[in-house]
Amino acid sequence: MTSHVTDLGMPRSGVADVPTLGEGQLPLTKKDFTSDQEVRWCPGCGDYAVLAAVQGFLPELGLRRENIVFVSGIGCSSRFPYYLDTYGMHSIHGRAPAIATGLATSRPDLSVWVVTGDGDALSIGGNHLIHALRRNVNITILLFNNKIYGLTKGQYSPTSETGTITKSTPMGSVDTPFNPLSLALGAEATFVARTMDSDRAHLTEVLRAAASHRGAAFVEIYQNCPIFNDGAFQLIKDRDSQAARLVKLVHGEPVSAGTENDRQVLVREPNGSVTFVPEAEAAGRPVVIHDATDPNPTAAFALSRLDDGTMAHVPMGIFRSISRPTNDDLVREQIATAVESAGRPSDDTALDALLRGNDTWTVE
Amino acid sequence: MANTPAQLDKVVIRFAGDSGDGMQLTGDRFTSETAALGNDLSTLPNFPAEIRAPSGTLPGVSSFQLHFADHDVLTPGDAPDVLVAMNPAALKANLADVPRGATIIVNTDEFSRRNLAKVGYTTNPIEDGSLDSWQVRPVALTSITVEALAEFESLTRKEKERAKNMFALGLLSWMFTRPTAGTEAFLKSKFSDKPDILAANLAALYAGLHYGETTEEFAHRYEVAPAAAPAGTYRNITGNTALAYGFVAASHRSGLPLVLGSYPITPASDILHVLAGLKRYGVMTLQAEDEIGGIGMALGAAFGGALGLTTTSGPGIALKSETIGLAAALELPLVIVDVQRGGPSTGLPTKTEQSDLLQAMFGRNGESPVPIVAPQSPADCFDIAMEAVRIATTYRTPVFVLSDGYLANGSEPWRVPSARDLPDLKVEFTTEPNATDDGGEPVFYPYQRDPETLARPWVAPGTPGLEHRIGGIEKANLTGDISYDPDNHDLMVRLRAAKVAGITVPGIEVDDPTGDAEVLVLGWGSTYGPIAAAVREARSLGLSVARAHLRHLNPFPANLGEVLRSYSRVLVPEMNTGQLALLLRAEYLVDVQSVNQVRGLPFTISELVEAITTAVDAGSASPAAATVGAVR
Ligand code: SF4
């Protein structure tokens, strides 16, 4: 995987205001981010790999450990904060984006992460998720998508394919699933990416880009649940089958799938839709060059729709990374402007003036 | 000047008109003039839930009542001495409250056949003799205003008509010798960029003043002397504004930035509006996507070391309940304001009620005790806000403030405190390890408690060495690690309960001047004014009655049980069906008697006097027979 996806010319880093380790301080290691709590996911759960990748990646940020906060909701993945030796809150079902919004807006010196799952973020907490994205709060949201409810023991989730047979859908689910990336793009997200639990290198790459994005970074992580939905992503995990199916997005390069001898490229049809064609047939046709920074989300949306659920073509990487003022920066800016135009920070005199107002009378 | 004004000791005026007639503004201005004169006062706006109900209809009637006097005023008054009715609907909707003999000023221009028919009058009440027992003052308010503005050629007739509320204000200001300088200044700043509208409004105001002076109809003028009050600087303030200012003051005195997460809801939105305008004081307001988002943001900010606040009304509390439970488990400071309104469900959005007490007390899953305080008057909202912050930060707990629609929109004079004299709310964050582990090494235990308050440490992220995780899952005592241990859960439930039960609150004071009363009237929240006024009246009738008022509902003041047991009968008036009474009976096994009404309006003094009289009489006849009339 090429590495230039991480530098898309963003004006300010997502962690620009977070204190870094001082000169002479030893860099932190994975061990520094490992808490003393026994990890209690099922054996083989994809969450282990994501945890290891995050613990391995965090030292790279060079931030002070005490200025990193993980906030989660409810679900298997939401146990995540307990296993990281940072500040953390394991909150309630679906509400982590709202809690993180209050925290990130009032504390620009913190690097705030949300860990959530498909049920947590897309069902019970759907409203908080879309509004955090549209506001573009400076937080990083990791959505572990295993397409099933794990903690409640195996009911279908809002990303389960239609027809999925579970305890609550013995005759198959009749619901149409959400496409998390399409949803995020529709919610005006400024950073949208997808990666997979088992691809440590790619996961780390995406984490790096997400952390440095100023604004709400939305990362969908395909995560295997060996207990209730084993093999949900097997087609793109098996070496044999993945080559033709995985579409690794690289900014500035044609969108393609397959191996050198059998490459397919994405071309734009006259009606605006996109299709894969064998490379040999692409000559003279408008090949789609991936531009994650395109202010218009149309192309990113088309990419998010490439997988129709059959996993014939599954794009991985950064779909969109654009710059838009963040909500928390703007909120703080308004306060700073108001304080500045008042001439000085609030003090006793200023408070007295407020309490009195303009319409007082005196009793002797 | 036509004549020497007659002296009155108190007056109740009600301005009533269509929602679009500007009655709230007229009432506000008259209130401000009255405050400037030094009268004590109390106000009660009453407006429809619909923003613009069809004009001229009963549902569209909006009113504003003001009670002012040369002595201390406790309520907005039961019955108006003067009703200003801007149209037939306003007359019809309010007449029942106006005692015979009182003055009714009607805008005759609006009493057209069509408008009369809209509200079911078959004949014109001004002409058919049905108002003969009142002193009716017919004034062609609309047409006189339009005529007075004849020279304003740039204004349409509609725009001229709209100034009729200023004409009415001028007329009433003349009648009650109110100074209008404040209103003039107000209009000048409001319409600074619309010189024509400003000039027209001023002209209408003066026309009203002159009309009073020159018309026979208004030969009588009245004066109400200033009330005696403790020395100081005063202003008029509504409950919602006082709450907002109280939180800003608490932020100032605690050194914590104030972060409000809120979702608009009647009648609490004004707190959001006021605070949104106070960024200069470092106040951060976040209008959330929903009620749950609002409290989530406030809780997130509290985790970060800020003063977290969320404001709502009853339906919003229902949605926030799970997060309040989380805050109770996390043991983080958080203030939740519930400006109560009529329920259940959407209920009566613009009307008042006290029916969320049990929701605040018990409306969460599990054993989830939360302290509750309630302001007793609009100005007291300021002090109660600071008190809520004291409890929240000292004990690291969510705290409920139960205001209501009556306090939110009602106003009274407030002696403005000086910032320096406000309670010190300074907060100590924990920055160092607070325990030693088995090996003697210093460690940080997030659930190590202060031996006195049982509060756990508050550590803001960014504090090196104290990284820790907290959550809604039961925590092991001290370490805060996840624990499913049965004994630990039992202990933690009891610790959280003991912490809330042990909160220091001031003892309840009893007002029992003769010392021989057998009946105690106990209230909470906004019933303070009506109860105090009713008790005053009962005493003037020769009845011996004691009175006490609760501002702390969880925990109760330590001496409450003793107070209740020292009276043979305890009356508990509430704008609900007996929620405080239920708590008192459960807690103290005292057979208190509820006095209830849920009409969306405050108690009238007369209904409370009747209940008190019945209870006192029951004592002199037979103590057992106290269940009469409004008392049950
Ligand atoms: S149920 Fe599935 S997702 Fe949950 S911990 Fe077990 S394997 Fe992981």
- State pLDDT tens for residues B64-107: 999 999 999 999 998 999 999 999 999 999 999 999 989 999 99
Q: Which of residues 466-485 of B touch A (CB under 8 A)?
A: 466-473, 481-482
| Average pLDDT over every residue of A145-162 | 96
Instruction: Tell me the C-alpha distance between A34 and A31, whole Å.
Output: 5
Q: Do A102 and B465 touch (CB under 8 A)?
A: no
pLDDT at A5: 42
pLDDT at B246: 98
Longest dimension (CA), chain A: 96
Could you tell me which residues come within 8 angstroms of residue B504 by beta carbon, excluding any fewer than 6 positions away? none
SS3 state of residue B223 = strand
The size of chain B, in residues, is 632
Could you tell me which residues come within 8 angstroms of residue B135 by beta carbon, excluding any fewer than 6 positions away? B101, B102, B103, B104
pLDDT (tens digit, 9 = 90+) per residue, B346-387?
999 999 999 999 999 999 999 999 999 999 999 999 999 999
pLDDT at A58: 98
Instruction: Tell me the C-alpha distance between B187 and A95, whole Å.
Output: 46
| Average pLDDT over every residue of B224-237 | 91
Judged by phi (left if over 0) then psi (alpha if -120 to 50, else beta), residue A252 lies in left
pLDDT at B219: 67
Question: Which chain B residues have a beta carbon less than 8 Å from that of A131?
Answer: 288-289, 293
pLDDT band, very low/low/confident/very high, at B621 (cuts 50, 70, 90): low
Closest CA of chain B from A338, distance in Å: 5
pLDDT band, very low/low/confident/very high, at A259 (cuts 50, 70, 90): confident
Give the distance, in angstroms, between the CA of residue B172 and the centroid of all CA atoms in the same chain.
26
Question: Which chain A residues have a beta carbon less than 8 Å from that of B292?
Answer: 95, 98, 127-128
pLDDT (tens digit, 9 = 90+) per residue, B171-225?
999 999 999 998 999 999 999 999 999 999 999 999 999 999 888 777 678 889 8
Handedness of CA B358, B361, B364, B366 (dihedral sign): negative
**Cα separations (Å) of B307 from B274, B290, B389, B511?**
17, 20, 8, 36
Of the listed ranges A58-72, A266-280, B244-258, the least confidently predicted one is A266-280
Q: Do A101 and B286 touch (CB under 8 A)?
A: yes
Q: Do B279 and A82 touch (CB under 8 A)?
A: no
Handedness of CA B580, B582, B585, B588 (dihedral sign): negative
pLDDT (tens digit, 9 = 90+) per residue, B439-468?
999 999 999 999 999 999 999 999 999 999
Q: Which two tokens stand for residue B97?
A: 């409250």
Q: Is A51 in the pocket of ligand 1 (CB under 6 A)?
A: no
Give the distance, in angstroms, between the CA of residue A162 and the centroid of all CA atoms in the same chain.
25
Mutate to test the pocket of ligand 1, among A74, A227, A229 (most ligand atoms within 8 A of CB): A227
Q: Which residue in A has a C-alpha nearest to residue B227's C-alpha?
A: A363
pLDDT band, very low/low/confident/very high, at B4 (cuts 50, 70, 90): confident
pLDDT at B597 over 50: yes
Could you tell me which residues come within 8 angstroms of residue A80 by beta carbon, excluding any fewer than 6 positions away? A47, A50, A51, A54, A70, A72, A115
- B399, B373 in Cβ contact below 8 A? yes
Neighbours of B520 (CB within 10 A): 23
**Cα separations (Å) of B85 from B13, B30, B41, B107, B149?**
11, 16, 22, 6, 22
Residue with tokens 């609150």: B505
ipTM of the complex, rounded to two decimals: 0.96
pLDDT at A10 over 70: no
Mean pLDDT of chain A: 95
| Average pLDDT over every residue of B154-158 | 92
Q: Is A331 in the pocket of ligand 1 (CB under 6 A)?
A: no
pLDDT (tens digit, 9 = 90+) per residue, B568-583?
999 999 999 999 999 9
pLDDT at B625 over 70: no
Residue type, B208: G
Q: Nearest-CA neighbor of B121 among B96, B87, B97? A: B87
Q: Which of residues 386-445 of B touch A (CB under 8 A)?
A: 416-420
Give the mutation candidate from B290, B297, B466 for the A interface (greatest A CB count, under 10 A).
Answer: B297
